[in-house]
């Protein structure tokens, strides 16, 4: 059974009444509950726990990590960032949500600034499915409509995704690549745009469906673990066994 | 000097007064004039000429072919379609414009239906630059705005582009991958969405700039012409010359 | 349960003793048996059956179609080719094997010549895993070695794959993109190089594993079926309901 | 005229007689001379200069930076790495050569380990052109053969390239994606495998041709400089000007 760790910065919810009304127990609880209901084994971790809740032991029990952060990206320690990125390269899935675009793990795995345009105007967003044949679009209509969304607009400074699953339309005139698949090392990464601390977006069933699909897609497989480094000892191919190995 | 052949169906302009007012001499003349001014050597070809104007001799003098068709895709003969596709695979550039998404050369080179949603509502379109570092975006602002456009919406049933340069936003609620790069054989293909027979879109300077950029990008290079078929005669590699060649 | 139809030209095996010794009942039986053992529900279809065994009823019961053809590509009727391509665009998976690179369904879905270099010299092939994090590489070592293989070499005239899972090394000096993923419409396509009528390659367990992985990957999902065409009736977005719809 | 800065670690050549015999003035001088002859304006910079020769003033005069490093990647200061990566995102081209796969700028821009297999056995390498229609393959044969090369083998732990131009075959049994295009921000990056301090590979005319092609391809264009951040002030779209901007 796929094990998911739902990570949340979990500060807005404790210090801001508007946010607390939407997510009284924290964004992570709403996401974890939805994923449990979808059949995953879930645990949560938050910034202000020791090791931000992401000890080696917790990550040993994590097939897929979801990440929501916003105001305290800098408070995430370098050691934990290295640990998370290393796990991704070893095969752990990573689902990066909304303002997590600026998180240390995501920007480091992308190698780009991950900057974008934004506007808080409670405007309509439509997430159009661009690749209906991709498993992350399973069970979704041609588009998901959100009545009140924060706008994120292009240019989104990311590497071109391996697969672009969703593109968002915003009432105010912008578009955004809002569902992006990547591989880094043996691990799979999905960036998914929707979500904001003051809009109840993670309560939306279609959004929950996409996150569950993404977790299933990002779960580690059983492919080979590459050997790196000096490869002198490879079994000789006929005809090349007479070469001089320095 | 790069030689461009501007192909046009050229029927709307001769039979429909509304279109004739916008393009009295035909869409091809407006595009060819813009490309001449941009420094390319241009000629035109239209559906009702012999061989649709695309004789072997004309194609011998064509580095890049631009294609606009709409109502008479089926009138394009199979032999000419084969000829065009073959030239593309040999290295000729192909720029497919607007309703050319349903043309025989484009659908055949894509291998997909190239279907889409559309609506004629004279609504606002914004073409956002998704890849500002791509040469087809040279000299363009962050977006190009067209006041009155026909809407094209996703799902656009194309193979995922090698590079996605533009994505369009439409007032009515849709998005569209409106600038898409592909390679087929040695040839480069660019699909560019804007343009409609009753809106003066090919008179727009930014649109002309993009088409000129695309022509420059799609012009054939000097890469190797692959040899295909039985490769018995390849020069032996040390150590493998003792193999039995059947 | 995923239903697989294993298609085979099935002529070499009936007319050539050398082939019959390796595949006495036909290549399709060996592949179908391996897929049954891997847990798929399988049926077979061959060229000389009515409709080449690919009636609408058979395709109604097909989630994934595997295709092996070599000497008789031209004998496959246009109507059946259209039917297969249409099913792929609707979501059916397609696994194209070895000399199927020149089959009508594959070349039509690719839009390119799919030409390559080849040599029959019973030379060593190594299929290196390029994307160890892709599900088609599950359970496979860093490379699969085949002692006696027909060589296929680059330039392989295909569109750049969406994902390149394997690249082959050949003793005689060539390389080849031997495991290539594509999407067309809602369907997933995997081209897999190994296999030849006179080498027992489909008896190899690693090769069987990859084909089974590919079938699982290509099985249709539950994504949206796009609506194409005139989209006047889309529910109005706030603020755009005053537009004139022609 | 495109301005190139050729960066070299330049330590092997000064401390190792074998290397000094192949590159008496340093690898950078051989590369810079070849690029000058190809028509570029060149300068050089090396590790042991102040700021590693990469001051803001030098980078102001740099359209494309080429990078060769091997034994002293860690000696490159963080500030200079940040500076180089920032320039790439702003549009500067970057050509990373051979053992530069492990350099700080490259690994940081890729977001992956960039690990690989290697073997020093003076074996034959063939660089096959995979995309003959790409400008980096201009003027090159179907493959470039190097008699004595260090082997680099897959798995090469990089993000899947936007375009794969070359794949190498090695006598000992490995393959390698040896010519890889990427974009990061507005900048273009090309990784090119050949080159080793004890083999005269940068004296090879075909290799020089590819590096010159890559410089031409990577030179910055004139695309838009994206605006990032709060986008409240965007000109209102008809129908959305009544939204509440927070």
CA nearest to C88 within chain A? A133
Whether C84 maps to a domain, the answer reads yes
**B220 vs D contacts (CB less than 8 Å):** 133
Q: DSSP 3-state assignment of C149?
A: strand
Domain count, chain B: 1
Average pLDDT over residues D200-224: 97
Whether A206 maps to a domain, the answer reads yes
Average pLDDT over residues B126-149: 97
Residue A42 confidence (pLDDT): 98
Residue D199 confidence (pLDDT): 87
C-alpha distance from C92 to closest chain A C-alpha (Å): 10
Residue C199 confidence (pLDDT): 86
**A180 vs D contacts (CB less than 8 Å):** none
State pLDDT tens for residues C28-85: 999 999 999 999 999 999 999 999 999 999 999 999 999 999 999 999 999 999 999 9
* C56-60, C186-190, D201-205, D234-238: least confident range: D234-238
pLDDT band at A237 (very low <50, low <70, confident <90, very high): low
Whether C93 maps to a domain, the answer reads yes
Range of the domain at B89: 3-113+178-218
The number of C-beta contacts closer than 8 angstroms across A and D is 140
State pLDDT tens for residues D135-165: 999 999 999 999 999 999 999 999 999 999 9
Q: DSSP 3-state assignment of B4?
A: strand
**A238 vs B contacts (CB less than 8 Å):** 239
Q: How is residue C199 annotated by DSSP?
A: B
Residue A40 confidence (pLDDT): 98
CA nearest to A131 within chain C? C186
Q: Which chains touch A (3 or more CB pairs under 8 A)?
A: B, C, D
What mean pLDDT value characterizes chain D?
Answer: 94
CA nearest to D159 within chain A? A184
CA C13 to chain centre: 20
Contact in structure between C126 and C143 (CB atoms under 8 Å): yes
C-alpha distance from A176 to closest chain D C-alpha (Å): 13
Residue C234 confidence (pLDDT): 55
State pLDDT tens for residues C131-149: 999 999 999 999 999 999 9
Please indicate whether, in this complex, the C-beta atoms of D116 and A228 are within 8 angstroms of each other: yes
Say whether pLDDT at B243 is over 70: no
Task: Return the residue in B169, B171, B180, B236 with the most chain A beta carbons within 10 A, the one to mutate for interface testing.
Answer: B169
**A127 vs B contacts (CB less than 8 Å):** none
**A142 vs C contacts (CB less than 8 Å):** 224, 226-227
The C-alpha torsion from A167 through A169 and A170 to A171, rounded to 10°, is -170
Unique residue bearing structure tokens 């794969």:
D164
State pLDDT tens for residues B56-81: 999 999 999 999 999 999 999 999 99
Whether A172 maps to a domain, the answer reads no
Say whether pLDDT at C120 is over 80: yes
Say whether pLDDT at A118 is over 80: yes
Interface of A with B (CB under 8 A): 126, 128-132, 142, 153-155, 160, 163-164, 167-170, 173-175, 177, 237-240, 242
Residue B232 confidence (pLDDT): 82
Separation between Cα atoms, residue C84 and residue C96, nearest integer Å = 12
Whether D21 maps to a domain, the answer reads yes
Exposed (0-12), middle (13-18) or buried (19+): which is B21, by Cβ within 10 Å? exposed
CATH number, domain at A73?
Answer: 3.40.50.880
Question: Is the ipTM here above 0.85?
Answer: yes
**D147 vs A contacts (CB less than 8 Å):** none
Please indicate whether, in this complex, the C-beta atoms of C123 and B157 are within 8 angstroms of each other: no
C-alpha distance from B60 to closest chain C C-alpha (Å): 21
Beta bridge partners of D160: none
C-alpha distance from B173 to closest chain D C-alpha (Å): 12
CA nearest to D168 within chain C? C175
Say whether pLDDT at D132 is over 90: yes
Say whether pLDDT at B231 is over 80: yes
Residue C232 confidence (pLDDT): 82
**D131 vs C contacts (CB less than 8 Å):** 160
* A55-69, A77-91, B11-25, C57-71: least confident range: B11-25
Residue C240 confidence (pLDDT): 45
Whether B139 maps to a domain, the answer reads no
Please indicate whether, in this complex, the C-beta atoms of C186 and A133 are within 8 angstroms of each other: yes
State pLDDT tens for residues A126-179: 999 999 999 999 999 999 999 999 999 999 999 999 999 999 999 999 999 999
Phi, psi angle pair for C193, to nearest 5°: -70, -45
Whether B214 maps to a domain, the answer reads yes
Whether C223 maps to a domain, the answer reads no
Residue C244 confidence (pLDDT): 37
What mean pLDDT value characterizes chain B?
Answer: 94
> What angle, rounded to 10 degrees, do the helices at C27-37 and C205-218 form?
70
Residue A243 confidence (pLDDT): 38
pTM of the model: 0.96
C-alpha distance from A34 to closest chain D C-alpha (Å): 30
CA D3 to chain centre: 15
CB atoms within 10 A of CB D164: 21
Q: Which residues contact A138 (CB under 8 A, 6 or more apart)?
A: A209, A213, C221, C222, C223
């Amino acid at each position: 059974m796929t094990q998911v760790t739902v990570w949340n910065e979990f500060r807005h919810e404790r210090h801001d009444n508007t946010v607390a009304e939407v997510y009284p127990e924290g964004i992570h609880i709403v996401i974890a509950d939805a994923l449990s209901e979808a059949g995953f084994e879930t645990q949560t971790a938050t910034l202000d726990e020791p090791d931000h809740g992401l000890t080696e032991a917790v990550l040993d029990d994590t097939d897929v990590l979801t990440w929501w952060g916003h105001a305290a990206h800098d408070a995430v320690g370098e050691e934990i960032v290295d640990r998370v990125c290393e796990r991704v390269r070893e095969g752990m899935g990573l689902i990066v949500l909304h303002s997590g675009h600026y998180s240390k793990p995501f920007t480091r795995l992308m190698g780009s600034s991950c900057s974008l345009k934004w506007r808080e105007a409670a405007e309509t967003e439509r997430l159009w499915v661009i690749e209906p044949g991709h498993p992350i679009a399973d069970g979704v209509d041609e588009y998901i409509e959100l009545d009140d969304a924060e706008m994120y607009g292009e240019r989104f400074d990311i590497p071109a995704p391996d697969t672009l699953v969703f593109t968002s339309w915003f009432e105010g005139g912008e578009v955004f690549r809002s569902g992006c698949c990547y591989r880094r090392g043996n691990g799979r990464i999905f960036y998914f745009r929707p979500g904001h601390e003051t809009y109840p977006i993670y309560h939306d069933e279609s959004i929950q469906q996409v996150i569950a699909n993404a977790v299933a897609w990002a779960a580690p497989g059983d492919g080979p673990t590459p050997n790196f480094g000096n490869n002198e000892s490879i079994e000789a191919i006929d005809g090349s066994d007479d070469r001089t190995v320095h």
